[in-house]
Each structure stands twice: as C-alpha cells, then as structure tokens.
C-alpha cells in the first residue's frame, strides 16, 4: 500500500468520496455487509467481506512484503464482540486472524475526530478494535476473505427493541525492518511523500437490522406447594421488536422435582401489536406444577423456556418449595359452665379442616389461608350424659386437614371436658 489521503485516510460517508489509490491489501468490499437474526430472536449474525483492492473494486495485489490489518466494529451498547475474528479466504491463500486490541479502537477514534469531527464509537454504540498477525502480501493475487461473527443482543433487565446497528472500519499498516509489528498503533504514519505512508484506516459500511427479543423472569422468588398439591408458578414476559416478522414461540417446561407433572399456560403471552413508540409489550404466563404424592419436602427449580421454530431458546428458572401439610394443635381452653372447650388448631394454608370423634359433635371449617382456628369441642350422646352426671369426661378428637389440593395431615388429641354447677 502506498497512498494515504490527508492526515487520516478515514471517513464513513462512503469509499467513493475518498478517491484513494490503494494498490493492494485487505480492505472492506463494498456492499458486502449483512446482518441477520436467523433464529427469529437471539444473536445477530454479522457478515462482511475483505479483498485486495485499488481505488474502488477488488483487484490484484500490486505489493509485496508484510502487513498487519486493522478492524473496527461498532455494535449496540450491551452487546459483546468476540475476542478473536477470522477472515477466511474464499478463493486461495491464507486466512487472516484478528485479536482484540484497544489501541486500534483508540486510533480510529482519534482519526475520526481529527478528519470528520465524529465520535467513535457512534452514540449508543460500543466499539471493538482488532489487529491481525503479520501477513505476507502476494504480488499479482486477487484475494477475498469472508468474516462471520455471532453477536448477542444487548444484555439487560428488559428486552432489546432494536434496531441492531453496526459500523465497520478497516485499516492497514506496513511491517518491515523499520516498522515492527509491536509498535504503537496509529491510523496515520507519514512517509517522505504523500505516497509513502505506512499506515491508514479506511471506511467500510454501516447497517442496521430490526430485531426481536423475549425476556422471561420468575414473577416472585418462591412459590409453595403441598406434597400431592397443585400450584401455578408465575412468570413475566417482556417482548420487544423492530423486526418485520414476529417469531412464534413454543414453551416447554421442566423441573428438578422428580415425578412432577408440568403444564405451561402461555395463552396470555402475545407478541403484538406493539406500541409504535416503545416497540415493547409486557405479559405473563405460568407453569402449573402437580407435585407427586410421594414428593420429598424441599426447594426445587422450575424452568420455563421459550423456543422459536429455528431452535433459539431463552429461559428463566423459578423456585418451588414443596411442603408437607401439618396440623398444629394447641392447649384447649375449657368452658366449665358449658362443659365445652375451644381447641386452637393451626393450618398452613387454604383447605378443609375436619373434626370428628365418636363422642363429640363433628365440625368442618374452610380456612382461606394459613391461620389458627378455634374449634369447638362439644360432647354428644353417652359422653354428654356422663359429663352431666360426673362433671367430667374424656374424649378423643380426630383432626384432619386437607389442603386444596394435597395430601391430608391428621392428628389425634385426647381432651378431658369438665362441667361444674
């Protein structure tokens, strides 16, 4: 390479505006930049080509010796560029291997500011700079390379609405006995004359792609279910898109709870219509979990996954706590005047509490949640007559708490009723 335009051979308005005379090396091939989201959601595939080139189109290399190549890629903030890139030859010859290099990023930023008054990376973007290993030029060869990279959508608590924008900048520098491969990186290294520069940075192209993104999050950190019970584990959806076509999702679910039956309920999730200002919609869904009757108490994962037809998946995991239904029975409070007692019974949730016994009146209560109930103990039949005659009687109360739904808990309590006066 022999000619550098101005102090910095760089700009983003288009290659034609630079009127460079570049006798060879690997520079951006006009019109080759493409972006695609093949999974309907998830990572964006970035592709572009490099070629040996002169003033415009690709042409045979007219130089020999050794070179290093530079790349600058601007992507949306929150995305992440790979640590290495490989420009694979599409005709003959060696590939070009690039490694992340922050000096390249700084050199492009300096050149853009000086030549165009522009910032690098562009607003809303972050930049990755790359420097290749030493590459041997081949005189007379017409060479082309293809670069492919998978770039994740920007991370964050909310879905990325897009569009996904990228800008490409390429560069070159000479390597010889005077110009070592480990010298500081610059986009301009002056020579004796205008045609003797030993480094330059050159514009590529910019492009944007409308994308779709779905994020799932557990609605709350913990959901309880009784052994043998059934519960809905809620999830929240955040969907954003500027894509022309919206992907369809399936929603498989899984759990670490052995033997659990899982039913995803996703009818409430919808991808549109999307508001024109935010391109975003929030929704909700749930996984219904039926715990087996032999489940062991403990905390288990429940995972809901959204999968596109292309197999791209996003998922979230909620915590499910399996508990054994229990009955807590307190000390009865006797009513000696009436010969009855109030028995405090604590239940862990909604369900049916039943009191039975051969010598007492049956009672049934339907608590709507965890609470302590006062259950009236009242003798009947022969026990009632004996209580009236002797002033006391021993009865046995049988308690059963049946959660809605779940495996019942049972308890027995012997109580001595007393009556005086």
Q: Span 181-206, mean pLDDT?
A: 81
Q: Span 241-265, mean pLDDT?
A: 93
315-352 pLDDT, tens digit per residue, is 999 999 999 999 999 999 999 999 999 999 999 999 99
Residue 147: Cβ-neighbour burial (10 angstroms; 0-12, 13-18, 19+): buried
Q: What are phi and psi of 81, to 5 degrees?
A: -90, 150
Q: Looking at 116-130, 131-145, 227-241, 264-278, which range is the least confident one? A: 264-278
Of 278 and 138, the structure prediction assigns the larger pLDDT to 278
Q: What is the DSSP string of 125-139?
A: EEEEEEEE--EEE-T
Tokens of 41: 């959601």
Structural domains of the chain ordered from first start? 15-209 (2.60.40), 212-323 (2.60.40.10), 328-418 (2.60.40)
Bond prior to 149 in cis (omega within 30° of 0): no
Contact 175, 68 (CB under 8 A): yes
Residue 11 has pLDDT above 50, yes or no: no
204-245 pLDDT, tens digit per residue, is 899 999 999 999 999 878 899 999 999 999 999 999 999 998
Of 54 and 158, the structure prediction assigns the larger pLDDT to 158
- Go through the chain and tell me how many residues it has: 421
Confidence at residue 18, expressed as pLDDT on a 0 to 100 scale: 34
Helix (H, G, I), strand (E, B) or coil at 186: coil
**Cα–Cα distance for residue pair 302/214, rounded to 1 Å:** 18
Residue with tokens 């369809």: 248
Residue 153 has pLDDT above 60, yes or no: yes
23-71 pLDDT, tens digit per residue, is 457 889 989 999 999 999 999 999 999 988 755 678 887 777 899 999 9
Beta-sheet strand order (sheet of 409-418): 363-365, 351-356, 392-403, 409-418
357-369 pLDDT, tens digit per residue, is 999 999 999 999 9
Phi-psi region of 386 (alpha: psi -120 to 50; beta: other; left: phi over 0): alpha
Extract the runs of DSSP E, i.e. beta strands, from 177-277. Answer: 199-209, 212-218, 223-226, 230-241, 249-250, 253-255, 261-265
């Amino acid at each position: 390479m022999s000619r550098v335009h101005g102090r910095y051979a760089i700009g983003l308005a288009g290659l034609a505006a630079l009127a460079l005379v570049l006798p060879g090396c690997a520079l951006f091939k006009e019109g080759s930049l493409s972006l695609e989201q093949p999974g309907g959601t998830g990572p964006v595939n970035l592709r572009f080509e490099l070629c040996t080139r002169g003033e415009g189109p690709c042409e045979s290399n007219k130089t020999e010796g050794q070179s290093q190549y530079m790349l600058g890629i601007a992507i949306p903030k929150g995305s992440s560029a790979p640590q290495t890139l490989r420009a694979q030859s599409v005709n003959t010859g060696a590939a070009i291997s690039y490694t992340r290099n922050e000096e390249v990023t700084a050199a492009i930023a300096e050149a853009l500011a000086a030549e165009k008054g522009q910032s690098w990376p562009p607003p809303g973007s972050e930049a990755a700079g790359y420097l290749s290993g030493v590459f041997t030029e081949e005189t007379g060869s017409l060479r082309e390379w293809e670069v492919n990279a998978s770039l994740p959508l920007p991370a964050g608590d909310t879905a990325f609405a897009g569009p996904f924008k990228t800008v490409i900048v390429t560069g070159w520098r000479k390597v010889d006995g005077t110009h070592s491969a480990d010298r500081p990186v610059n986009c301009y290294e002056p020579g004796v004359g205008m045609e003797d520069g030993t480094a330059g940075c050159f514009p590529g192209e910019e492009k944007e792609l409308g994308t779709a993104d779905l994020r799932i999050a557990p609605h709350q950190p913990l959901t309880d279910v009784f052994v043998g019970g059934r519960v809905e584990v809620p999830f929240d959806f955040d969907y954003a898109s500027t894509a022309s076509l919206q992907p369809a999702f399936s929603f498989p679910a899984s759990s670490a709870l052995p033997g659990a039956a899982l039913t995803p309920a996703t009818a409430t999730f919808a991808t549109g219509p999307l508001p024109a200002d935010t391109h975003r919609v929030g929704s909700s869904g749930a996984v219904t979990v039926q715990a087996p009757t032999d489940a062991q108490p403990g905390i288990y994962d429940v995972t809901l996954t959204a999968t596109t037809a292309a197999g791209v998946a996003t998922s979230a995991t909620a915590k499910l706590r399996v508990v054994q239904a229990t009955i807590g029975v307190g000390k009865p409070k006797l009513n000696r005047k009436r010969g009855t007692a109030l028995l405090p019974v604590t239940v862990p949730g909604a369900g049916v509490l039943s009191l039975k016994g051969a010598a007492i009146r049956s009672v049934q209560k339907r608590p709507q949640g965890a609470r302590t109930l006062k259950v009236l103990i009242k003798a009947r039949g022969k026990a009632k007559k004996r209580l009236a005659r002797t002033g006391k009687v021993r009865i046995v109360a049988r308690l059963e708490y049946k959660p809605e739904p779940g495996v019942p808990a049972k308890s027995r309590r012997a109580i001595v009723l007393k009556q005086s006066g």
